[in-house]
Chain A
Amino acid sequence: MACNPSEVDDMSANPIPVKIVVAGGFAVGKTTFVTAISDIDPLTTEAAMTKVSEGVDDWGDATGKKSTTVAMDFGRVGLSPELVLYLFGTPGQDRFHFMWDELVRGAIGACVLVDTGRIDQCFPAIDYMENAGVPFIVAINAFDGMLRHHPEDVREALDLPRHIPVVVTDARHRAAVRDTLVALVRHAMTMAQSTG
């Protein structure tokens, strides 16, 4: 049903939000990935770390500051007049995992971007998603147009179970990003069916 301007104050006109988390190591292309498909220029929101580290966060490279601010980029994709998809890029460092708990709550799932030149950088994201029970896929970002490793080699290097999809993407291209999100949603549907 089309939105009737006279019903603009009708709360049923509020679209339903859904979200997908885009994770991975530093400079792996998370913001590029979001930018490629977002209807708007990606926005940045800042969050202050309010919790005291409880042995979970790595304060090893903190600079002694008592408060830390983390910036988070996100985009918005209108899927229909009634449905909006938000894409949130995770802050990279381990000590920002407190923010991930909020990001993955209620999320469809996560795309973990992998740069095959620095494959170890995605370990924390994969560990986190596995432990949190978040549906996720691994997307190899072949951003130089070169695929340096076969997806099955990446699966082996990451010790991923068979049911986790490994796809090849290009974070600069809208169609490739869309296909990656489709792969994640299909995986989330499979997971939802298998868990009842």
Chain B
Amino acid sequence: MTSPEPDALQGVRVRPYMVTGGRTRSAVELPLEAIIRVTPEGQKAVGTLNLEPRQIVDICHQPLSIAEISAHLRLHLQVSKVLVGDLVHAGYLATHTATAESADRPDLQLLERVLDGLQSL
């Protein structure tokens, strides 16, 4: 009757990818700076979600990057990316940020805006 998974049962140390069912990739691959926000569908569905996805949907009532979600919820960065990707895929979260594969460097117009913003600090 000894437990084969003491880590999981003690709740002291959970293997990072346990909450993703062992997956290290999601259908939607986002960069770590992607800014995420809950959708009306996500607000309705929040009660039906498991612990970590629910926590993510809860804190995304304000726009947050995946890096911030990871830091606030103390979830590993890649784990956060998988869970957020799943929630975006399900329509519970939304982002305007391009997917990781298509992330080019900012164009001149955007750099100009960054420059203006920095100079006004």
Residues of A within 8 A of B (CB): 9, 11-19, 37, 43-48, 50, 69, 72, 74, 76-77, 79-80, 83-86, 88, 102-103, 105-109, 135, 174, 178, 181-182, 185-186, 188-189, 192-193
Contact = CB atoms under 8 A, between A and B. Distances in A.
Contacts of B32: 45, 88, 102-103
29 contacts: A12-B96, A15-B63, A16-B97, A18-B114, A43-B71, A45-B32, A45-B67, A45-B77, A45-B80, A46-B76, A48-B16, A48-B78, A69-B76, A74-B67, A76-B65, A79-B114, A79-B117, A83-B114, A86-B65, A103-B32, A106-B98, A106-B103, A174-B121, A178-B121, A182-B118, A189-B112, A192-B105, A192-B107, A192-B111
B103 A11 contact: no
B70 interface: yes
A185 B115 contact: yes
B111 A46 contact: no
A45 B71 contact: yes
Nearest to B115: A185
B101 to A, nearest CB: 9
B1 interface: no
A45 B37 contact: no
A47 B96 contact: no
Contacts of B87: none
Nearest to B79: A48
A46 B77 contact: yes
Contact of B76 (A11, A37, A47): A47
Contacts of B76: 46-48, 69
B58 to A, nearest CB: 15
B89 interface: no
A13 B67 contact: no
Contact of B37 (A11, A85, A105, A188): A11
B71 A105 contact: no
A106 B40 contact: no
A189 B67 contact: no
B24 to A, nearest CB: 6
A186 B115 contact: yes
Contacts of B63: 13-15
Contacts of B100: 102, 105
A69 B95 CA distance: 28
B108 A76 contact: no
A193 B40 CA distance: 41
Contacts of A102: 31-32, 100
Given A14-B63, A189-B112, A43 B105 contact: no
